[in-house]
Structure formats: structure tokens, C-alpha cells
Amino acid sequence: MQLTILDRIDRPAEDVVALTLRGAHGPLAPWEPGAHVDLALPNWLTRQYSLCGDPRDRERYRIAVRHERLSRGGSDYIHRYLRPGRTLEVSLPRNTFPLVPAPSYLFLAGGIGITAILPMLRAAADAGASCSLVYAGHTYASMPFAGELRAAYGDRVTVVATGHDGRPDLAALAAGLAPETVVYCCGPTSLLDACEAVFPAERLHVERFRPRPRTFAPDTAFDVVCARSGRTVPVPAGESLLNALTHAGLPVPAGCREGVCGSCEVTVLEGEPEHRDDVGAAPGRMYACVSRSRSARLVLDL
Amino acid sequence: MTRQNAPLIERRPRRVSIEQVRDRLGEPDAMIKSKIQDHIDEHSRRFIAHSPFLTMATADASGRADCSPRGDYPGFVKVLGEHLLAIPDRPGNRIADSFRNLAENDGIGLLFFVPGSRETLRVNGRAYATDEPDVLVRMQTEAREPELAIAVEVEEVYFHCGRALIRSRLWDPASQALADELPSLGEVAAAQFGMDIDPRLLEARLEEGYRQLY
């Protein structure tokens, strides 16, 4: 964890605050566009937010947070109770949405999903790549950074207020997509699903805040062997691997608990995991919050 | 009867009337009375948002009273409006005393604590059981929602002065040594259930149960 001080709270749009976090002990860990951090709140909750500031500024991180109507305690706390000057612990940046080098990019952002896209667009433009952004939200007033994006990138940025203009025409964008262009999309499930329907999968990169609605085969029970302690923990159907480990007294740090943030990654030494996450686990890794096992036994490096 | 177990007083302690109580204590001053509010203001809201623990008093139709603890992460009690809050019902002993009481008598008294704060917050009102999805979804922890919550229609809200907590040294870390003098839960359970079982075994089982919090 890194200790930061909350320097400023800005309101870049309706129901959105931007937090500027300064390293309490000098420079903060470096990051690449697309990265997110876990923010530990004073109410003991941890939430994940994309870094939306400038990676060249090693002194501060910037995040932006929308006040969710049915907040489970993260965004509501940030909006109502955080005050400048508070120290806050922030994890090392984690990047499950890296920007791959390409000559041309199409960025698509929905609402607060702009936070992940913002540093990507800047990096792509600075690298001299051809790039464009379609940024959709309900109303202009609810869309953070729209004005500054248009000021900086001119007609490379299209802002679409869906309540006024209707939804962006993704099919037309897909039809006109140059063969060398890669597509990055971050936003609500509806936008991601619509993108997945029209853009070629091998050129589409998405980041989700909420898991993709999917159905899985019924849970099966399995045993987990923790290689370091030698302990075997049974994981019954209906209980997550993460909870089974916690209840056995072997807690794994966790964030979203929905398979989107990547904080509960564990290393698999033996056995065949059944991946149910939306991060995309690297070989030999799995996310304990949602993923299970195809084999009767999994050996983990725990 | 050993001296240790002998009652301290042979008869029931004498009773005084409310008039006598008032005579002894005097009338509360107007400032104290005026601090009682009929709604949750910004300061009370901030207090509740930082409170991980409360006690909840209810009584049945005949007046049989009961007080139970509730606790979770700070802000686990959700303020839904100036006159409305909701308390999640987490897995407990499944006795449901509070729910049974509220079904007969909807009066409720809550006392909120914030670790380190000498003041406490008192909230009184009327309550009922709810399964409203928009309320329960806000209470999700460890990816689980409670089955039920208690909705409280707030009538009185006030900060209670810190003297009791100051005198009790409740937040003084040195006070935690008091717990070392208590029997373990295993010892208590073994004695109360009359079980011929090693208290340490029982203790281990109970500790295991404590890991399953949601």
C-alpha cells in the first residue's frame, strides 16, 4: 500500500467528484494508461478506480468517482464524507487493460468509463498514433472532462449525450473501421455488449466495472491444497473459493468480489481452474472470488 | 451459603417515584431538551456513517424488553432519508427476538457508537422488517445481501454526552485487559448447557463459527 494525502476534491460533472491524491512520502509508484488502484476508505471498504491523471506526474494520482444511486458504501462515502487533507491508502497500480502499440486507435467511453480512456487517448495522441474518441453519456452535464477533451483534441472527440442525440451508431463505426485500428472500450455493460456485437473480437479491448451477465454450469465441490501451509480446505458448492479460504483462516486480499478487478489473484500449482472472471487470468493464475475448479483438487501457492 | 454467594441485601431495594427522582435530579435545562431533533441532520448522518456498532432495544406487546448488539463495517446502517434508516439483518443466532418484538410493538431505541468517540448517538422511532430490494442491495458485503433489514422511521435523534464513556474508559486500550479476566465462551457454554465436553474443543468450534460472518 502507498500512503497518500487527499489534496483536492473537484466536481467535474453532476454527481462526479475527482480526487487528487498526493504521495505522502514523495513520488508514487509509476503506472501505464489503463491502470487502476484499490482505494482503502476510512469506512474499511476498498474500491477500485482507474487512474485518470497524467502518468508523467509522479507526485499525484487522480481518480474520478460517480455517486451511485444504490451505492454499497464506496461512492456514497467518497461523495458525502471525504474531506481534503485526509490520508488515504492506495494500492500499487494494477493494469488489466493495457494499451497495446498500434498505428491507429478508436476509443469508446460510456459515462464514468472515460476515466480509464483519458490517459490512453493522451498517450496515443502523444505517440503520434491516429486516434479518435466517442464519448457517450446520458446528458452533457453528467459527463466529466467532456469540455477539456474537446478543447485538447478537437474533432477527434465526439461527445454523444444519449438522452438528446440517441445512442452512438456503433455499426457505422465498425463498418468504417480501418484494418489497422484497435478499439478500446470502457463503460456500462450495455455499451460493452453492443461493442462486442459489432467489433472484431481480436481488435477489441474492454474493461468492465460489473461482471458480464453469464450463466455457468452448476457449482461443484472441490478441495484446495494450500502448498505453503500444507492445509486442505474443502470448497462446497455455493461457497466461493475466496470465502472458503477466509473461513479457514487463510484470507486472500480481495476487492470487487465480482471477478472484474483482479485483486484476489492466486497462483495455481496443480489442477484445472474453471475461470469465471472478466479480467482474463494469465496462465497459472486464477481469481479466487468467482473462479472454481474443474478438477477435484487444486493446489495453490498459498 | 458461603459468604461469597450470600445476597448483599436481604430485601428488594426500595422504590422511589418519578416525582422523587425529579426532586433529586432537578429538571433538565432547556438546552438539553432542545438538542433532541426529529430528524437526521448532517452531523448525525456523519456519525452513523462512521459507526460500526449499535445496540438496539425493542419490547413485546406486554413490555418485556430486549436489547441486542448489531455491528459491521462503519456505515452499515444506511440513512435513506432525514426520517428513515435501515439496519441489515446479518446471520446471528436466528432467535429473531427483535423481529418478534417489532411485530407486536414497533417502538425501537438505537444507540450508535463510534470507536474513539466519547459521545454516542441516540435514535428512537418506529420500526418494521423489510425485504425491499433497493435497500438490501445497498447492504451487500462479501458479495452477499442480507435476507432482511429493519426499517426505522425516525422520531428522535440526539447526541448523548460522553460522561459514561469517559468514566468507563471504554476506548482506552488498557481497558481491554479486562477481557482477560472473563471465562472463555467455551467455558460459559459448557457450564450453561451442562455439557460434558472439553471447553477448549467447544471454544475451537465457536471460533470456527466466528469466521463465517456473512
Best A44, A242, A252 residue to mutate vs chain B (most B CBs within 10 Å): A44
CB atoms within 10 A of CB B151: 19
Distance, in Å, from the CA atom of B157 to the CA atom of A140, rounded to the nearest integer, reads 40
Q: Which of A96, A289, A122, A121 is nearest to A207 (CA)?
A: A96
Q: Do A71 and B138 touch (CB under 8 A)?
A: yes
**The residue to which cell 459489432 is assigned:** A198
Chain B residues close to A243, C-beta within 8 Å: 142
Nearest to A72 among B50, B138, B208 (CB): B138
B148-160 sheet: strands from edge to edge: B65-71, B53-59, B107-113, B120-130, B148-160, B84-89, B78-81
- Beta strands A204-208; A87-90: pairing state: unpaired
pLDDT at residue A237 in the model? 92
Chain A residues close to B212, C-beta within 8 Å: 247
pLDDT at residue B94 in the model? 64
Q: Do B140 and A289 touch (CB under 8 A)?
A: no
Nearest to A243 among B76, B138, B142 (CB): B142
Q: What is the DSSP string of A235-296?
A: E-TTS-HHHHHHHTT-----SSSSSSS-TTEEEEEES-EE---SS-PPTTEEETTT-EESSS
Q: CA angle, B160 as apex, B77 and B84 as ends, to 5°?
A: 30
Chain B residues close to A71, C-beta within 8 Å: 138
pLDDT at residue B208 in the model? 77
Where chain A has pLDDT below 70, the residues are: none
Nearest to B74 among A44, A70, A247 (CB): A44
Size of interface A-B (CB pairs under 8 A): 45
A45 vs B: CB within 8 A: yes
Nearest to B143 among A73, A81, A257 (CB): A257
A258 vs B: CB within 8 A: yes
Distance, in Å, from the CA atom of A118 to the CA atom of A53, rounded to the nearest integer, reads 8
B142 vs A: CB within 8 A: yes
**B205 vs A69 pLDDT, higher one:** A69
Chain A residue with minimal CA distance to B77? A73
Helix, strand or coil, per DSSP, at residue B72? coil
Q: How far is A190 from chain B (nearest CA, A)?
A: 20
Nearest to B73 among A43, A240, A246 (CB): A43
Chain A residue with minimal CA distance to B211? A247
Nearest to B212 among A43, A73, A247 (CB): A247
Helix (H) or strand (E) holding B24: helix B18-25
Q: How far is A209 from chain B (nearest CA, A)?
A: 14
Are the CB atoms for B78 and B86 separated by under 8 Å?
Answer: yes
Enumerate the domain spans of chain B: 18-166, 168-211
Average pLDDT, chain B: 89
Distance, in Å, from the CA atom of A32 to the CA atom of A126, rounded to the nearest integer, reads 14
Q: Do A44 and B73 touch (CB under 8 A)?
A: yes
pLDDT at residue B95 in the model? 66
pLDDT at residue B2 in the model? 65
Q: What is the DSSP string of A72-128?
A: -SSHHHHHHH--TT-EEEEPPPB-SS-----SEEEEEEEGGGHHHHHHHHHHHHHTT
Q: Which of A225, A218, A295 is nearest to A266 (CA)?
A: A225
pLDDT at residue B59 in the model? 96
pLDDT at residue A113 in the model? 96
Chain A residue with minimal CA distance to B210? A247
Chain B residues close to A258, C-beta within 8 Å: 143
Distance, in Å, from the CA atom of B30 to the CA atom of B27, rounded to the nearest integer, reads 9
Whats the size of chain A, residue-wise? 302
Q: Which numeric CATH code is attached to B18-166?
A: 2.30.110.10
Entry pTM:
0.88
Distance, in Å, from the CA atom of A289 to the CA atom of A264, rounded to the nearest integer, reads 7
B210 vs A: CB within 8 A: no
Q: Which of B3, B74, B53, B88 is nearest to B170 (CA)?
A: B53
Best A86, A247, A252, A256 residue to mutate vs chain B (most B CBs within 10 Å): A247
Map out the domains of chain A with their CATH numbers: 2-90 (2.40.30.10), 104-208 (3.40.50.80), 222-300 (3.10.20.30)
Kindly report the backbone phi and psi dihedral angles of residue B152, in degrees, each rounded to the nearest multiple of 5, phi listed first.
Answer: -120, 120
Distance, in Å, from the CA atom of A250 to the CA atom of A229, rounded to the nearest integer, reads 10
ipTM of the modeled complex = 0.87
Helix (H) or strand (E) holding A53: none
Confidence of residue B1 (pLDDT cuts 50, 70, 90): low
**B5 vs A127 pLDDT, higher one:** A127
Mean pLDDT across B90-114? 89
Q: Do B141 and A72 touch (CB under 8 A)?
A: yes
Best B85, B138, B207 residue to mutate vs chain A (most A CBs within 10 Å): B138
CB atoms within 10 A of CB B104: 12
What's the sign of the alpha-carbon dihedral A47, A51, A52, A54?
positive
Are the CB atoms for A250 and A226 separated by under 8 Å?
Answer: yes
Distances (CA, A) of A30 to A33, A61, A90, A268: 10, 10, 13, 28
In this structure, what C-alpha cell is assigned to residue A97?
487493460
Mean pLDDT across B129-154? 92
A260 vs B: CB within 8 A: no
Q: Which residues contact A156 (CB under 8 A, 6 or more apart)?
A: A125, A131, A132, A133
Best B77, B80, B142, B145 residue to mutate vs chain A (most A CBs within 10 Å): B142
Q: Which of B27, B41, B153, B167 is nearest to B86 (CA)?
A: B153
Helix (H) or strand (E) holding B123: strand B120-130
Q: Which of A198, A217, A196, A221 is nearest to A206 (CA)?
A: A196
Best B48, B73, B205 residue to mutate vs chain A (most A CBs within 10 Å): B73
Helix (H) or strand (E) holding A198: helix A189-198
Q: How far is B62 from chain A (nearest CA, A)?
A: 38
